[in-house]
Chain A
Amino acid sequence: MRVLIIEDEARLAENIARSLRESAGYAVDVALDGEEGAFMAGSNPYDLVILDLMLPKLDGLSVLQRMRRGGSAVPVLVLTARDEKESIVALLNAGADDYVAKPFDLGELLARAKALIRRGKGQSAALLKVGDLEINTADLSVRRKGKLVSLTAMEYRVLEYLAHRPGAVIPKTELLEHLYDFNWERFSNVIEVYVSGLRRKLEDSGDTKLIHTLRGQGYMLRG
Chain B
Amino acid sequence: MRQTSIQRRLIAAVVISQLLLAIGIVSVAVYFTRRQLRNAFDAGLHGRAMSVAALVRYSEDEHPTLIFEDDLVPPPLEKLHPDLYQVTTGDGHLLARSPNWPQDLQAIPKKDRQHTAFTVNDIRYRAVRLEKVPVLDREGDAPSTDVLTVTYAAPTDQMTRAVAHAGIYIAAGSGLLLLVTVGIAVWGLRRGLRPLAELAASAALVNASNWKLNPSEAALSTTELAPLTQAMTAMIEGLHRAFTQQREFLANAAHELKTPVAILKSTLQSLLQRPRAADEYRAGLEQALDDMARLEQLMHSMLRLARAEQWAAGSARRDLQTVEVSATCESAVERLAPVARERGITIHFVSNGPMPMRADADDLELVWSNLLENAIRFSPAGGNVQLRARSDGPRGYVEVEDNGPGIPLSELAHLFERFHRGDSSRARNTGGYGLGLAISKALIEAYGGTITPQSGPGQGTRMVVEVPLENSAVRS
Residues of A within 8 A of B (CB): 8-12, 15-16, 18-19, 22-23, 54-57, 81-82, 101-107
Contacts and interface: CB of A to CB of B under 8 A. Distances in A.
B274 A22 contact: yes
B424 A56 contact: yes
5 contacts: A12-B262, A19-B270, A81-B255, A104-B262, A106-B270
Most buried by A among B258, B266, B269: B266
A11 B265 contact: no
A103 B265 contact: yes
A11 B290 CA distance: 10
A22 B273 contact: yes
A117 to B, nearest CB: 18
A104 B266 CA distance: 8
B231 interface: no
A106 B273 contact: yes
Most buried by A among B255, B270, B424: B270
Contacts of B131: none
Contacts of B265: 103-106
B259 interface: yes
A18 B423 contact: no
B258 A81 contact: yes
A9 B264 CA distance: 12
Interface string B241-285: 000000000000001001101111111011001100000000000
A125 B443 CA distance: 58
Contact of B259 (A9, A23, A55): A9
B272 to A, nearest CB: 9
A22 B258 CA distance: 25
Chain B interface size, as a band, is 20 to 34
Given A11-B287, A104-B266, A107-B273, 16 more contacts: A8-B427, A10-B429, A12-B263, A15-B266, A15-B267, A19-B270, A22-B274, A56-B426, A56-B427, A57-B424, A101-B258, A102-B259, A102-B261, A103-B265, A106-B265, A107-B269
Contacts of B270: 15, 18-19, 22, 106
Interface in B384-437: 423-424, 426-429
A181 B48 CA distance: 145
A18 B258 CA distance: 20
Given A81-B258, A82-B255, A56 B263 contact: no
Given A15-B266, A15-B270, A56 B259 contact: no
B426 A81 contact: no
Nearest to A80: B258
Contact of B428 (A10, A15, A23): A10
Contacts of A18: 270
- Pairs A-B, 7 closest by C-beta atoms: A103-B262, A15-B266, A106-B269, A102-B262, A56-B426, A103-B261, A102-B258
A102 B257 CA distance: 9
A109 B264 CA distance: 15
B291 interface: yes
B424 A105 contact: no
Contacts of A11: 263, 267, 287, 290-291
A12 B427 CA distance: 14
